[in-house]
C-alpha cells in the first residue's frame, strides 16, 4: 500500500512539473480563491533570476517573492507576521508595505500604489505547498532607483542595478536654474534620435550605494548585455571560466575552503591608469593611488606568509575588470581581495565596509562568501577604529560575481570626507589599513581553510 501511495505521489509530482513547464500560466491561491497567473521571467543585471517560486504577472503587474528578490537586489527584508507588513531596506532607503494595502511608506513618507500593485499573500502549490509574500517588482526596483524594462514577447522583466547618478555632476546641482533648463532642452532635443534610448554613462556612478568609475560601469554594462544577448559562453571565457564547469544542480556549497597545495591569494588594487577611480575632496588626489599604496604594502607584508600571493597590478596601469577576475580564475586562487576607497555625494559619509557576493545569488561559487568579508572588516575596524559600515551583499560587481573563489571587496574609507581623507593621507593610517587586511586574511585562513 505504501509503495502504491508513494508512486502515486511521484506520478503526481511528475504531472504537476510537466504541466508547469509546458504552460505559461499556473494556479495559485490568493485570499482563498483559486487564481490563474501568468509566468514571468526576471533578469537582474543580465543574469537569469529563476527561483523555485516563480514570479508571476497578475493584472499587468509582475510579482516576486519578497525574500528572493531582496536577495537578488542585495537588500534586506523583514516580515512582521502580526502586522502583516514587510520592510525592505537598502542602505539609506526603506520601503514599508502592508499586505492587501495600497499605502506604502518610503523612508517614513506616506505614498500610495495602485490597487493592482498591492502586496499579496499567495499560496503556491509548486514546487511545494507554501505561502509566499509577494511584492510588486517594478515598484520596489524603481524605488531603489534601478532601471526596469519589460519585454512582452518573452514576459521578461529586466532590472539593471546600475544607477546613473553622476558624482562629478554634483557641482551642477547647485548651479542656477539656467543650467538645469539648458540640460532639459538638450535632452529633449535628443529624444528623437535612437542614441538617447541607450544610456551613455559618461560620469562616475553610485551603484547600489557603492562608488563606481565610469570605466567600471561601462565595462559592467557591456559585459551584462553580452550575457543577456546569449553570449554567455564568450563572456565566461573572458573571465577565465568554462561554462561547462558550472552546473547548478551539481553544486555543493561548503562553509570552508579545502586547499590542496599552497594557498593562493589575489590582491587586487582597484582602478589604475586612465581609470582614476574616485577623486578625493581635495580635488587633486585619486583613489587609484591610495589603493595601490595599500595593496603593494600588503603584498610585501604577505611575503612573510607561506602563501602564494598574486597581484593584479603593481603600478599605475589600466586593467579591465574581466582580466582581474581572469587572473584569479585561471590560477585557481583560493582568495580574491579587491581594495578600494569610497566616495559619496554626501560629504559626511565615512567609515569602512566590505562587500561580497553571496553564493545564494552567484551560482559559480561553491564556498560561503560572507565569512571572508566579515573577518576582513572586523580586523580593519579593530586596527583603525573607523566607523563600521558592515558587510554588504553586492552581487553586481564583476570582480565578485565572476571570480569562482571566495572573494571580497574592501572599501577602506571615504576620500570624499575631509576628515577621513586627512587620515588616509598619513603613512601611519595606511599602515593600520594594511595591518587590518593582513590580520583579516590570516584570521579567515585560520578559521575557514582546511589544508
Cβ closest to Zn ion, residue 313 vs residue 340: 340
Cβ closest to Zn ion, residue 317 vs residue 330: 317
Cβ closest to Zn ion, residue 136 vs residue 277: 277
Stated length of the chain? 451
- Shortest reach from residue 275's CB to Zn ion, in Å: 9
Task: Tell me which residue has its CB nearest to Zn ion.
Answer: 340
Q: Which residues pair with 30 in a beta bridge?
A: 33, 122
Cβ closest to Zn ion, residue 286 vs residue 371: 286
Is the preceding peptide bond at 127 cis, omega within 30 degrees of 0? yes
Q: Which residues pair with 76 in a beta bridge?
A: 89
Residues in contact with Zn ion by CB under 5 A are 270, 277, 340
List the one residue out of 351, 334, 333, 332 whose CA is nearest residue 342.
351
CA distance 88 to 17: 32
User: What is the rounded (10 degree) CA torsion for 215, 405, 144, 36?
Assistant: 130
- Shortest reach from residue 316's CB to Zn ion, in Å: 15
- Shortest reach from residue 410's CB to Zn ion, in Å: 10
124 phi and psi angles, rounded to 5 deg: -85, 150
Cβ closest to Zn ion, residue 297 vs residue 340: 340
Cβ closest to Zn ion, residue 95 vs residue 409: 409
- Shortest reach from residue 287's CB to Zn ion, in Å: 5
**Which set of grid coordinates corresponds to residue 421?**
581623507
Beta strands in 40-179 (DSSP E): 41-44, 47-48, 56-58, 61-65, 76-80, 85-90, 93-98, 103-106, 109-112, 120-124, 130-136, 147-151, 156-160
Cβ closest to Zn ion, residue 70 vs residue 395: 395
- Shortest reach from residue 407's CB to Zn ion, in Å: 15
- Shortest reach from residue 353's CB to Zn ion, in Å: 12
- Shortest reach from residue 211's CB to Zn ion, in Å: 6
**Which set of grid coordinates corresponds to residue 342?**
569610497
CA distance 252 to 429: 41
Amino acid at each position: 500500500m505504501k509503495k502504491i501511495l508513494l508512486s502515486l505521489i511521484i506520478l503526481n509530482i511528475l504531472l504537476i512539473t510537466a504541466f508547469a513547464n509546458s504552460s505559461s500560466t499556473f494556479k495559485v491561491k490568493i485570499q482563498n480563491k483559486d487564481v490563474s497567473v501568468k509566468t514571468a521571467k526576471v533578469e537582474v543585471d543580465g543574469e537569469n533570476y529563476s527561483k523555485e517560486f516563480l514570479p508571476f504577472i497578475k493584472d499587468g503587474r509582475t510579482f516576486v517573492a519578497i525574500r528572493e528578490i531582496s536577495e537578488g537586489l542585495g537588500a534586506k527584508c523583514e516580515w512582521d507576521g502580526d502586522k502583516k507588513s514587510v520592510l525592505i531596506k537598502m542602505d539609506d532607503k526603506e520601503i514599508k508595505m502592508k499586505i492587501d494595502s495600497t499605502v506604502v511608506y518610503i523612508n517614513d513618507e506616506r505614498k500610495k500604489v495602485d490597487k493592482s500593485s498591492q502586496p499579496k499573500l499567495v499560496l503556491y502549490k509548486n514546487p511545494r505547498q507554501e505561502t509566499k509574500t509577494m511584492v510588486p517588482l517594478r515598484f520596489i526596483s524603481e524605488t531603489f532607483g534601478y532601471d526596469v524594462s519589460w519585454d512582452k514577447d518573452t514576459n521578461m522583466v529586466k532590472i539593471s542595478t546600475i544607477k546613473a547618478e553622476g558624482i562629478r555632476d554634483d557641482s551642477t546641482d547647485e548651479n542656477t536654474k539656467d543650467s538645469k533648463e539648458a540640460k532639459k532642452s538638450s535632452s529633449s532635443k535628443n529624444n528623437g534620435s535612437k542614441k538617447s534610448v541607450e544610456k551613455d554613462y559618461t560620469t562616475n556612478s553610485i551603484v547600489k550605494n557603492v562608488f563606481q568609475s565610469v570605466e567600471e560601469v561601462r565595462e559592467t554594462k557591456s559585459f551584462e548585455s553580452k550575457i543577456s544577448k546569449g553570449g554567455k559562453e564568450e563572456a565566461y571565457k573572458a573571465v577565465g571560466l568554462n561554462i561547462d564547469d558550472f552546473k547548478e544542480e551539481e553544486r555543493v556549497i561548503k562553509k570552508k575552503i579545502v586547499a590542496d597545495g599552497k594557498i593562493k591569494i589575489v590582491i587586487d588594487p582597484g582602478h589604475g591608469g586612465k581609470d582614476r577611480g574616485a577623486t578625493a575632496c581635495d580635488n587633486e588626489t585619486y583613489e587609484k593611488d591610495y589603493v595601490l599604496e595599500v595593496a603593494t604594502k600588503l603584498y610585501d607584508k604577505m611575503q612573510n606568509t607561506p602563501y602564494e600571493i598574486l597581484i593584479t597590478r603593481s603600478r599605475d596601469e589600466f586593467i579591465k575588470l574581466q582580466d582581474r577576475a581572469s587572473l584569479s580564475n585561471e590560477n585557481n586562487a583560493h582568495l580574491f581581495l579587491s581594495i578600494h576607497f569610497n566616495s559619496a555625494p554626501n560629504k559626511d559619509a565615512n567609515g569602512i565596509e566590505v562587500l561580497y557576493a553571496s553564493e545564494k545569488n552567484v551560482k559559480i561559487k561553491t564556498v560561503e562568501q560572507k565569512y571572508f568579508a566579515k573577518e576582513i572588516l572586523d580586523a580593519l575596524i579593530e586596527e583603525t577604529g573607523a566607523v563600521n559600515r558592515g558587510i554588504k551583499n553586492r552581487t553586481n560587481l564583476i570582480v565578485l560575481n565572476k571570480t569562482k573563489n571566495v572573494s571580497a571587496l574592501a572599501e577602506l574609507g571615504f576620500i570624499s570626507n575631509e576628515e577621513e581623507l586627512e587620515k588616509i593621507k598619513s603613512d601611519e593610517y595606511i599602515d593600520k589599513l594594511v595591518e587590518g587586511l593582513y590580520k583579516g586574511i590570516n584570521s579567515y585562513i585560520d578559521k575557514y581553510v582546511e589544508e
